[in-house]
Amino acid sequence: MIDRRNFGAALSAFLTIPAVAQAQTAWPAPGATIRIVVPFPPAGATDIIARIMGDRLSRLWSANVIIDNKAGAGANIGAEFVAHAQPDGGTFVMTAPFMALNEYLYKKLGYDPAMDFAHVSLVALVPNMLVAGKHLNASTVADVIAYGKANQGKMTYASSGVGTSIHLAGALFQKMTGVEMVHVPYRGSAPAIQDIIGGRVDIMFDNISSSLEQVRSGQLKGIAITTAKRSALAPELPPIAETVPGYEVSSWFGFSAPAKTPASIVDKFAADVKIALADPDVRKKLEGLAAEPVGSSPAEFTAFIKKESAQWGKLIKEQGISAE
């Protein structure tokens, strides 16, 4: 015969198991350490944005968020590290265009960009800006195109490295305008800017946050921006798309996790990114970098990366661009 009192107690205990289990597996646990890998050196845009977000998320989670710079090989060292990390919610990567580009720029990778990551959220977009040296007789996009066509194969454009958004912005400009230019890659934007100021290189499609100060001081000419709409940081600059319809390029930044990271963790991280981006202090810091805060669902970010990969992969193949 069933003892109703014992049965009731057992049933009550059984019904509380899911809640207890859920409490025990809540992510992240207070005081936990979360590693965000930045596959670039400190002080660059990817690093700065990761630190801004990491600081806010650490307070939101009551957890220790560590920014771990693992630079080298065009972001492949850091990306490979995260791809092979345990999918337990302890390790993430600050994703940038390399996630959509490197499979086309390198013959062999130690990870699969399409299969080894669970993408969390798109954090921010950063426009590039077409700048020119004062020596160049051009003040508008139409002027640059006219000068380039009159000097086919002679006009030079700088970049911060092969396969960067700055490089590909120039490659796309060539394709869409028919202007043949000579690509001059540098190790970073700073030395490239100095050579444009010095008249040794003609133009650059630089990140707006890197060269706006030189434009405002009169050292460089600000011609246009690469986004479809004007930037609030430099509203006086028209989009290239006003002269070259359909032209659009942005640098972008987001978070990704190792594949097989539980969906519950990925979804919570994405939701918390939106909370962090709603913080006025975070928005102010990002806007100071000319970064437009976004925030997205994992599905939206995954679709965004696939679109970027398809668009730029085609261009990279057509123009035979290689980082090796």
Q: What's the mean per-residue pLDDT of the chain?
A: 90
Alpha helix locations (H) across 162-262?
165-177, 189-197, 208-216
Q: Which two tokens stand for residue 11?
A: 């049933």
Q: Whose structure tokens read 């065009």?
A: 74
pLDDT of 288 over the 90 cut: no
**pLDDT tier at 189, thresholds 50, 70, 90:** confident
Residue 3: predicted pLDDT: 54
Q: What are the extents of the domains in the chain? A: 34-125+250-319, 127-242
Select the more confidently predicted residue: 214 or 210: 214
How many C-beta atoms surround the C-beta of residue 47 within 10 A?
18
CA separation for the pair 317, 24 (Å, rounded): 49
Taking 90 as the threshold, does the pLDDT of residue 9 lie above it?
no
Superfamily of domain 127-242: Periplasmic binding protein-like II (3.40.190.10)
Judged against a pLDDT cut of 80, whether residue 231 lies above it is answered with: yes
| CATH superfamily entry for domain 34-125+250-319 | Bordetella uptake gene, domain 1 (3.40.190.150)
Q: What is the pLDDT of residue 22?
A: 43
Q: Let me know if 259 is exposed, middle or buried by CB neighbors in 10 A (0-12, 13-18, 19+).
A: middle
Whether residue 286 is predicted with pLDDT greater than 80 in this model: the reply is yes
Mean pLDDT computed over 307-316 = 93
Task: State the pLDDT at residue 64.
Answer: 97
pLDDT in tens, 13-40: 445 544 444 434 689 999 999 999 999 8
Vertex 96, ends 95 and 97: CA angle to 5°?
A: 135
pLDDT of residue 101: 94
